[in-house]
Amino acid sequence: MTHRSASSGFMQPEDQQELRAILAGKPVRATQSMVGQMSRVWHQPSLTAIEIAWRWLFGIPLYFVLSARYQAMMATLTPQASGLSKFDFQDPWTAATLLDHAIHLYHPLFMAAFWHIAPLAVLLWAIVSGTGRTLLFVRMRQALPGWPRRIPVVIVLQAIWAAALLLVWALWYNVLAAIASSMIERTSVEPDVVTYLIWVIFLSLGFYAGWSTVSWVLRLAPILVLREGRSPISALGQSLSAGRELASKLAEVNLVLCIVRLMLIVLAMVFCAAPLPFSDQLGADQMQVLYKIVAVLYLLGSDYFHVVRQQSYAALVGRYRPPAA
């Protein structure tokens, strides 16, 4: 059995219809069927439940670990000792000086915490996410028989994805640090904090869009491992050589769903900001409860769209990598 013939059992009726349209030369946009994929995931809540289970199984303990390390850092170097308690946006020169001083003080503590937590966190994330994603694809009927033997391969690919994401974050941080150094730290005039924040927004969006455009390569590889029984190197090679048409559609799906996640963030911010005029009546405790509810709803929505992305990827692979004749 060839790699491509292995995918013949994965086709859904609507996917077969679109496959016939593709083979007939009719143009089919990647986002045309996304609503259908959203509906399919919505009517199979077990898919989202699997995604939520493995993400929260990893995320909740990590949150408590990070919270404890943050509290320890603040106890070691309090905001009063670092000068952050005097931070005021109304005085940009003083604010920039205090921020620069505080960053230099907190940086060694932050890096020590990072190197203690990050390697183990990446390893655990790869194991949990690799296992969870495999179970998700099995539930989608996107895995060949003998899939348990391929879980370690998926774990390796998830670790590669996490390492690539950390590299992008490091590049983003260093670019912003270089701009801050030239615009705030080493300037002889009053620092332009507003312009710097504009740079932060646009560069952050740029890095986010860039990562969204290319990261589909690493997201596609686990699907090829489970659908076609490939090795990690073979799966990555096939992802890189997926073909212009399939690659463009995978990138389109990835970019659209990343925009959807941005919209979810904006919507969460709106829900958090809407009650602010009534904060005196509600009280600080009720506002904190509201923020936590909004955060949980955002995470649930984000997890749902993660499943939609994987379902869309799997459907596109089935259409553009049809069974060999």
- Which pLDDT belongs to residue 320? 80
Write out pLDDT tens, residues 9-65: 454 555 555 544 444 445 556 566 677 788 889 999 999 999 999 999 999 999 999
- Please give the pLDDT value at position 36: 79
What type of residue sits at position 157? L
- The per-residue pLDDT for 159 is 94
Give the pLDDT confidence of 227-247 residue by residue, as tens digits: 888 999 999 999 988 888 888
> Which H or E run includes 283?
none
The model's pLDDT over 64-115, given as tens digits with 9 standing for 90+, comes to: 999 999 999 888 888 888 887 777 767 767 777 777 778 888 888 988 998 9
Q: Are 51 and 303 in contact (CB under 8 A)?
A: yes
281-319: per-residue pLDDT in tens? 878 788 888 899 999 999 999 999 999 999 999 888 888
Q: What is the pLDDT of residue 305?
A: 94
Q: What angle do CA 296, 71, 69 make, to 5 degrees?
A: 80
Res 45: pLDDT:
94
Over residues 261-289, the pLDDT tens digits come to 889 999 999 998 888 887 778 787 888 88
**Two tokens at 140?**
């989608």
Amino acid 19: pLDDT: 46
pLDDT digits (tens, 9 = 90+) for 160-216: 999 999 999 999 988 988 887 777 665 556 667 778 888 899 999 899 888 988 899
> What does the DSSP assignment read for 41-77?
HHT-HHHHHHHHHHHHHHHHHHHHHHHHHHHHHHHHS
Give the Cα separation of 114 and 49 in Å (integer): 30
E strand or H helix that includes residue 223: helix 216-228
pLDDT at 224 over 80: yes
Q: What is the pLDDT of residue 167?
A: 93
* Residue extents of the structural domains in the chain: 5-320
Q: For residue 28, what is the DSSP state?
A: -
The Cα 217–Cα 262 span in angstroms is: 21
